[in-house]
Amino acid sequence: MSKRIVVIAAACLFAAAASAVETEQDKKDHDELRGLLKVFTEAFNSRKIEPLMPYLHKDFNVTMVNQDLVTTPKELKGYLDKQFNGPGAILKDVKIEPEADILTLFYDGRFGINRGGSTDTYTLKDGRVIKIHTRWTGTAIHEDGKWKVLNAHIGLNILDNPILDAMESMKWIWAAVAAAIGLVVGVLGTLLLKRRRA
């Protein structure tokens, strides 16, 4: 019986040692992934994505907040350029502040999955500042000795958000402007008709 207790105790000690080694590796991976999130945030906020390039997996894909899908560095650059410099672009600046809800969950020591939220500040070219709360999910892959972005999806509440409120306000402003223009044109038209008849 005592031999059995010794074996069980040894097994427990071995499991505890293995767990401690795994925990140290997890800590190291979590620290590295926090660094990756920081690199992603700074690259997006500065719109300089070159520092992010080494951390994008060759098959990465990111669904942006407007649901545009980017799958290559060229598409990512093009997306940012379009939002800020393209025809009809309304954005002057965007600052994102993503935070994870949980510690990354690891699978097979190679994949890491996480989720979280972000408070994003949009500065429009007309000077308005809008804060939006978004949600995100992300998958990282450990390859070539470091963690890389494999997949990310960013979304917002399409039924209740400040952009919809702003668009609703603009709709009423343009309706009022159209009504005012119509009134002015009507009055001028009436005056011109009266002059001609006189």
Burial of 160 (0-12, 13-18, 19+ CB in 10 A): exposed
Position 98 scores a pLDDT of: 97
Highest mean pLDDT among 70-74, 123-127, 153-157: 70-74
Q: Kindly tell me the sign of the dihedral angle through the C-alpha atoms of 71, 26, 51, 131.
A: positive
The per-residue pLDDT for range 95-119, each reduced to its tens digit, is: 999 999 999 999 998 999 999 999 9
The single-letter code of the amino acid at 6 is: V
Res 93 pLDDT > 60: yes
pLDDT at residue 173 in the model: 42
Average pLDDT over residues 152-172: 67
The DSSP symbol for 68 reads -
pTM, rounded to two decimals: 0.70
